[in-house]
Amino acid sequence: MMSVKSFACKCLLVALVATDSSAQNVRKIAFRTLCLERIAGFEKVAIPVAATDELQEFELFTDISPVIEGEFTNGEAIFYLRKPPGLDGKAAHQLVGRVPLSKSNRQLFLFSAGERGEGKLPYQVRSFDDDTASFPLGTIRTINLAPVPVRFHLSGELTPEIPTSRHAYFPHSKQVNDYNMYPVVIEFLSSNGQWVKGQSVSWKATDRRREIVVTAVDPRFKQPTVRMYSDFPPWTEKPPTSVAR
């Protein structure tokens, strides 16, 4: 027969294992957000604070946000709209988006309008590693949200096509003018198998920042859209040098 002491030790061991397992399921992430389109009534979202009933609320911006720190459980980021307690006194926060976490401890959450219809979430959320080892300075990250593949001509050099709902990285072209500028053409694959020019611009080659390029098709006008965001990761900035007095 098991002694009381042995039983107590086993219970303590089980409790410690359960506590350790629960702690391992919590990840602390430094993240930023980028909202392509703010949905009316959902300009602010919130994430649960681990091991509490509290929510951590923040505003969504149509540009890259400042760094926010949060804790996420079970490998997923879940976003809510804060709601006041109901008649029973219990919170009834509205789920607005969710996404599996990426690998890095620095992540970018990209918010876009969700599918319309009853039971659909207001936002579709995608996560990307945001550290400079995964996404170095001087690099372009392309995110294709168009329903068709896209490709880029960088100073005439053709990139591999990027399928829908995928992303890719590539460096700036080395073929630049005296101002470090070079021509870029972005093409979308049409239904007849022909590549259609979506944008023709000039980009500046620099290793002092990163570029995020989001390609899509406007659901209302059925026209290609290209959005570019220059990214200066704030954690790479050097602190100001103190002046001797």
Helix, strand, or coil here: 10? helix
| Fold (CATH) for 27-134 | Immunoglobulin-like (2.60.40)
- How many residues make up the chain in this entry? 245
Mean pLDDT of 101-121: 94
Average pLDDT, the chain: 88
In this predicted structure, the answer to whether residue 14 has a pLDDT above a threshold of 50 is no
State the pLDDT confidence band at 129, using cuts at 50, 70 and 90: very high
Q: What one-letter code names the amino acid at 124?
A: Q
Q: What is the pLDDT of residues 84-110, one digit of tens each?
A: 877 777 778 999 999 999 999 999 999
In this predicted structure, the answer to whether residue 41 has a pLDDT above a threshold of 70 is yes
Q: Pick from 121, 115, 76: which is nearest to 97 by CA?
A: 121
Point out which residues pair with 152 in neighbouring strands: 186
Tell which wins on pLDDT, 127 or 50.
127
Q: Pick from 181, 140, 188, 180: which is nearest to 164 by CA?
A: 188
Torsion on CA atoms 115, 119, 123, 126, rounded to nearest 10:
-90
Point out which residues pair with 113 in neighbouring strands: 123
pLDDT for the residue 13:
44
Q: What is the pLDDT of residues 45-92, one digit of tens each?
A: 999 998 788 899 999 999 999 999 999 999 999 999 998 877 777 778
Q: Are strands 139-144 and 210-217 parallel, antiparallel or unpaired?
A: parallel
| CATH code at 136-235 | 2.60.40
In this predicted structure, the answer to whether residue 21 has a pLDDT above a threshold of 50 is no
Q: How many other C-beta atoms can be found within 10 angstroms of the C-beta atom of residue 188? A: 24
| Contacts for 204 with CB less than 8 Å, ≥ 6 apart | 179, 180, 181
Mean pLDDT of 107-125: 93
pLDDT for the residue 86:
75
Mean pLDDT of 27-44: 96
27-134 and 136-235 in the same fold: yes
What whole-number percentage of the chain has pLDDT above 90? 76
Q: Write down the domain spans for the chain.
A: 27-134, 136-235
State the pLDDT confidence band at 15, using cuts at 50, 70 and 90: very low
